[in-house]
Protein backbone atom coordinates (compact mmCIF):
# COMPACT_ATOMS: atom_id res chain seq x y z
CA UNK A 1 0.00 0.00 0.00
CA UNK A 2 1.39 3.42 -0.85
CA UNK A 3 2.56 5.38 2.18
CA UNK A 4 2.58 2.30 4.40
CA UNK A 5 6.19 1.23 4.35
CA UNK A 6 7.52 -1.19 6.92
CA UNK A 7 8.85 0.41 10.07
CA UNK A 8 12.27 -1.11 9.56
CA UNK A 9 14.55 -2.49 12.28
CA UNK A 10 13.49 -2.10 15.88
CA UNK A 11 15.15 -2.87 19.16
CA UNK A 12 13.82 -5.24 21.78
CA UNK A 13 13.20 -4.54 25.46
CA UNK A 14 13.12 -0.77 25.00
CA UNK A 15 10.24 1.02 26.65
CA UNK A 16 9.20 4.54 25.73
CA UNK A 17 8.82 7.23 28.37
CA UNK A 18 5.81 6.63 30.61
CA UNK A 19 2.61 8.27 29.46
CA UNK A 20 -0.07 8.02 26.79
CA UNK A 21 0.80 7.46 23.14
CA UNK A 22 -1.90 8.18 20.56
CA UNK A 23 -1.61 5.78 17.63
CA UNK A 24 -1.37 7.36 14.18
CA UNK A 25 -3.79 5.62 11.77
CA UNK A 26 -1.86 6.85 8.74
CA UNK A 27 1.43 5.33 9.90
CA UNK A 28 0.08 2.18 11.55
CA UNK A 29 -0.01 -1.00 9.48
CA UNK A 30 -2.27 -3.96 10.36
CA UNK A 31 -1.47 -7.07 8.35
CA UNK A 32 -3.53 -10.24 8.38
CA UNK A 33 -2.43 -13.58 6.96
CA UNK A 34 -4.67 -16.61 6.62
CA UNK A 35 -4.45 -19.93 4.84
CA UNK A 36 -6.96 -20.59 2.07
CA UNK A 37 -7.86 -23.37 -0.35
CA UNK A 38 -7.25 -26.17 2.11
CA UNK A 39 -3.97 -24.61 3.25
CA UNK A 40 -2.44 -24.41 -0.22
CA UNK A 41 -2.50 -20.62 -0.43
CA UNK A 42 -1.78 -17.83 2.03
CA UNK A 43 -3.98 -14.77 1.68
CA UNK A 44 -2.38 -11.50 2.76
CA UNK A 45 -4.48 -8.47 3.55
CA UNK A 46 -4.53 -5.30 5.58
CA UNK A 47 -6.93 -3.40 7.79
CA UNK A 48 -6.82 0.29 8.69
CA UNK A 49 -6.60 1.51 12.24
CA UNK A 50 -9.38 3.95 13.16
CA UNK A 51 -7.99 4.99 16.55
CA UNK A 52 -5.79 3.67 19.33
CA UNK A 53 -3.86 4.52 22.46
CA UNK A 54 -1.01 2.92 24.36
CA UNK A 55 -0.47 3.63 28.04
CA UNK A 56 3.06 3.01 29.35
CA UNK A 57 3.20 2.95 33.16
CA UNK A 58 6.13 2.75 35.57
CA UNK A 59 4.60 -0.54 36.73
CA UNK A 60 4.45 -2.63 33.54
CA UNK A 61 1.34 -4.42 34.85
CA UNK A 62 -0.52 -1.08 34.69
CA UNK A 63 0.38 -0.57 31.02
CA UNK A 64 -2.25 -1.20 28.38
CA UNK A 65 -3.61 -0.41 24.95
CA UNK A 66 -6.81 0.07 23.00
CA UNK A 67 -7.36 -0.06 19.27
CA UNK A 68 -10.30 0.29 16.94
CA UNK A 69 -10.15 -1.11 13.41
CA UNK A 70 -12.59 -0.40 10.59
CA UNK A 71 -13.75 -3.91 9.57
CA UNK A 72 -14.70 -2.58 6.13
CA UNK A 73 -11.15 -1.41 5.48
CA UNK A 74 -10.02 -4.96 4.56
CA UNK A 75 -7.84 -4.91 1.45
CA UNK A 76 -6.07 -7.83 -0.20
CA UNK A 77 -5.51 -6.54 -3.71
CA UNK A 78 -8.29 -8.76 -5.07
CA UNK A 79 -11.59 -6.86 -5.24
CA UNK A 80 -13.74 -10.00 -5.54
CA UNK A 81 -12.06 -11.55 -2.49
CA UNK A 82 -12.33 -8.27 -0.57
CA UNK A 83 -16.07 -8.04 -1.28
CA UNK A 84 -16.48 -11.66 -0.15
CA UNK A 85 -14.52 -11.10 3.10
CA UNK A 86 -16.60 -8.01 3.93
CA UNK A 87 -19.92 -9.66 3.04
CA UNK A 88 -22.35 -11.29 5.47
CA UNK A 89 -20.65 -14.62 4.64
CA UNK A 90 -17.57 -13.65 6.67
CA UNK A 91 -17.01 -10.29 8.44
CA UNK A 92 -20.48 -8.84 7.79
CA UNK A 93 -19.12 -5.30 8.03
CA UNK A 94 -22.55 -3.70 7.60
CA UNK A 95 -23.70 -5.29 10.86
CA UNK A 96 -20.31 -5.29 12.62
CA UNK A 97 -18.33 -2.28 11.34
CA UNK A 98 -15.70 -2.27 14.07
CA UNK A 99 -13.07 -4.63 15.41
CA UNK A 100 -11.82 -3.53 18.84
CA UNK A 101 -9.01 -4.53 21.18
CA UNK A 102 -8.55 -3.53 24.81
CA UNK A 103 -5.79 -4.85 27.00
CA UNK A 104 -4.05 -4.14 30.28
CA UNK A 105 -1.63 -5.94 32.56
CA UNK A 106 1.44 -6.22 30.36
CA UNK A 107 4.17 -8.60 31.46
CA UNK A 108 7.71 -9.26 30.28
CA UNK A 109 8.14 -12.52 28.39
CA UNK A 110 11.17 -13.67 26.40
CA UNK A 111 12.62 -10.77 24.43
CA UNK A 112 9.37 -8.78 24.56
CA UNK A 113 6.08 -8.43 26.37
CA UNK A 114 2.63 -9.96 26.40
CA UNK A 115 -0.47 -7.81 26.75
CA UNK A 116 -3.55 -9.85 27.67
CA UNK A 117 -6.79 -8.34 26.52
CA UNK A 118 -10.05 -8.84 24.74
CA UNK A 119 -10.83 -8.65 21.06
CA UNK A 120 -14.33 -7.88 19.86
CA UNK A 121 -15.15 -8.86 16.29
CA UNK A 122 -18.36 -9.91 14.57
CA UNK A 123 -20.28 -9.03 17.75
CA UNK A 124 -18.31 -11.46 19.91
CA UNK A 125 -15.67 -10.72 22.54
CA UNK A 126 -12.94 -13.22 23.34
CA UNK A 127 -9.63 -13.10 25.22
CA UNK A 128 -6.49 -12.67 23.14
CA UNK A 129 -2.84 -12.12 23.93
CA UNK A 130 -1.00 -9.45 22.00
CA UNK A 131 2.72 -10.11 21.84
CA UNK A 132 4.86 -7.00 21.69
CA UNK A 133 8.09 -8.18 20.12
CA UNK A 134 9.88 -4.94 19.43
CA UNK A 135 9.68 -1.29 20.38
CA UNK A 136 11.70 1.64 19.11
CA UNK A 137 11.70 5.18 20.43
CA UNK A 138 12.60 8.34 18.53
CA UNK A 139 11.92 11.45 20.60
CA UNK A 140 8.22 11.52 21.43
CA UNK A 141 7.38 8.83 18.82
CA UNK A 142 7.22 5.14 19.73
CA UNK A 143 6.90 2.24 17.30
CA UNK A 144 5.51 -1.09 18.45
CA UNK A 145 5.64 -4.42 16.59
CA UNK A 146 2.76 -6.56 17.85
CA UNK A 147 1.58 -10.02 16.81
CA UNK A 148 -1.48 -12.07 17.69
CA UNK A 149 -3.24 -15.15 16.39
CA UNK A 150 -7.02 -15.49 16.50
CA UNK A 151 -9.34 -18.27 15.46
CA UNK A 152 -12.12 -16.69 13.41
CA UNK A 153 -14.49 -19.48 14.42
CA UNK A 154 -14.28 -18.25 18.05
CA UNK A 155 -15.88 -15.01 16.85
CA UNK A 156 -18.71 -16.61 14.91
CA UNK A 157 -17.07 -16.02 11.52
CA UNK A 158 -17.90 -19.52 10.32
CA UNK A 159 -18.57 -19.14 6.58
CA UNK A 160 -16.47 -20.87 3.94
CA UNK A 161 -15.05 -23.48 6.29
CA UNK A 162 -13.48 -25.41 3.45
CA UNK A 163 -12.09 -22.36 1.59
CA UNK A 164 -10.70 -20.17 4.35
CA UNK A 165 -8.49 -21.21 7.25
CA UNK A 166 -9.51 -20.70 10.85
CA UNK A 167 -6.38 -19.01 12.22
CA UNK A 168 -5.75 -15.37 11.37
CA UNK A 169 -2.20 -14.20 12.04
CA UNK A 170 -2.10 -10.48 12.77
CA UNK A 171 1.02 -8.32 12.62
CA UNK A 172 0.64 -4.72 13.71
CA UNK A 173 3.31 -2.10 13.16
CA UNK A 174 1.91 0.71 15.32
CA UNK A 175 3.24 4.25 15.51
CA UNK A 176 2.27 6.34 18.52
CA UNK A 177 3.02 9.93 19.45
CA UNK A 178 3.20 10.90 23.10
CA UNK A 179 0.15 12.92 24.13
Work out the percent of the chain whose per-residue pLDDT is above 70: 84
Enumerate the domain spans of the chain: 19-178
Distance of CA 43 to the CA centre of its chain: 16
Sequence-separated contacts (24+) of 124-128 with Cβ below 8 Å = 124/154, 124/155, 124/156, 126/150, 126/154, 126/155, 128/101
pLDDT band at 106 (very low <50, low <70, confident <90, very high): very high
What pTM, to 2 d.p., does this model score?
A: 0.85
User: What is the tens place of the pLDDT at every residue in 112-151?
Assistant: 899 999 999 989 999 999 999 889 999 999 999 999 999 8
Instruction: Report how far residue 140's alpha carbon sits from residue 142's, in angstroms, rounded to the nearest whole number.
Output: 7
φ and ψ at residue 80, rounded to 5 degrees:
-65, -45
Q: Look up the CATH number of domain 19-178.
A: 2.40.128.110
Instruction: Report how far residue 67's alpha carbon sits from residue 49's, in angstroms, rounded to the nearest whole number.
Output: 7
Amino acid sequence: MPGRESLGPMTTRTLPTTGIYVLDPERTIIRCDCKALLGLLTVHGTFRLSAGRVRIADDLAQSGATASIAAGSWESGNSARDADVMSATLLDVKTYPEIAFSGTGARAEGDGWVLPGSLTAHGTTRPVEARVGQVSVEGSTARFLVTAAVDRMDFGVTGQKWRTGHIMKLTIEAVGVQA
